[in-house]
Each structure stands twice: as C-alpha cells, then as structure tokens.
C-alpha cells in the first residue's frame, strides 16, 4: 500500500539513494488507518532490509515481496479485513481509538 517517490516528489529521481514514501491510497480511510498502513509498510521495508543485511539474495527478497505481508505473517499478527475497508466517520471513531495505541507506540520508536 506504499509507493516510493524521488527526493523532489512524484516522478523525480532519488538523490543519494533516498526516497520519499507515501500511501498509495489516501481517500476513504481515516487518518488512523492511513498512519497504520504507513507503519505496517515501513515495518515491512525494514524487515526486508534486515534480511538483505543478514545475507538474503535479491531473488529471495523479490520472492518475499511477491507474497503479501499478511500471508507471510502469523495469523495472530495479520490485520483483519474489516480494518482495511473504508468506514463512515461515526463507525470509525471506536476503531480509531482502539488503533491509536499502535500508532503512538510506533511514534515512540
């Protein structure tokens, strides 16, 4: 759900190997859902970088990328499908409060 962009924004080159990362999906989701998508996506990138640093080959990483993170993670850690679906503001408020600790915990890291 993330997309890389060059250092100067969309359709620009990455200078010094640095990329900006943004959510592909922006409409129809609450702020909490979008922040959680960013946290999950960046966590996945860090996981893949650690595998490369530990000696994984680029082909192994490509194979992992082809498998969605939910399929690679244990069932207890996978996000429920309902959390991915857009919700109305009133229905999303209780869910936003429940998801808020995840975003706060990640911000503390």
pLDDT per position as a tens digit, 75-104: 444 444 444 444 444 444 444 444 444 545
Task: Take residue 66 and report the two structure tokens written for it.
Answer: 């082809």
**What's the rounded mean pLDDT across residues 64-75?**
65
Distances from the Cα of 13 to the Cα of 23, 41, 42, 109, angstroms:
18, 21, 20, 29
Please provide the average confidence, as pLDDT, over all residues in the chain. Answer: 71
Q: Is 5 annotated as a binding residue?
A: yes
9 marked as part of a ligand binding site: yes
For residue 30, what are its two tokens?
Answer: 């609450």
Was 15 annotated as part of a binding site? no
Q: For residue 92, what is the DSSP state? A: H
Q: Model's pTM, two decimal places?
A: 0.54
Is 10 annotated in a binding site? The answer is: yes
Q: First and final CA of the chain: distance in angstroms?
A: 22
Is 7 within any annotated ligand binding site?
A: yes
- pLDDT band at 109; cut points 50, 70, 90: very low
Cβ atoms of 24 and 1 within 8 Å: the answer is yes
């Amino acid at each position: 759900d993330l997309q890389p962009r060059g250092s100067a924004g969309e359709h620009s080159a990455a200078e010094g190997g640095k990329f900006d990362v943004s959510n592909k999906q922006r409409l129809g989701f609450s702020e909490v859902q979008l922040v959680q998508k960013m946290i999950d996506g960046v966590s996945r990138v860090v996981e893949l970088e650690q595998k490369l640093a530990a000696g994984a080959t680029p082909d192994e990483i490509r194979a992992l990328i082809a498998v969605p993170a939910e399929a690679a993670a244990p069932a207890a850690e996978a996000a429920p499908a309902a959390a991915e679906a857009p919700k109305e503001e009133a229905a999303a408020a209780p869910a936003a409060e429940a998801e808020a600790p995840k975003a706060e915990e990640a911000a503390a890291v």
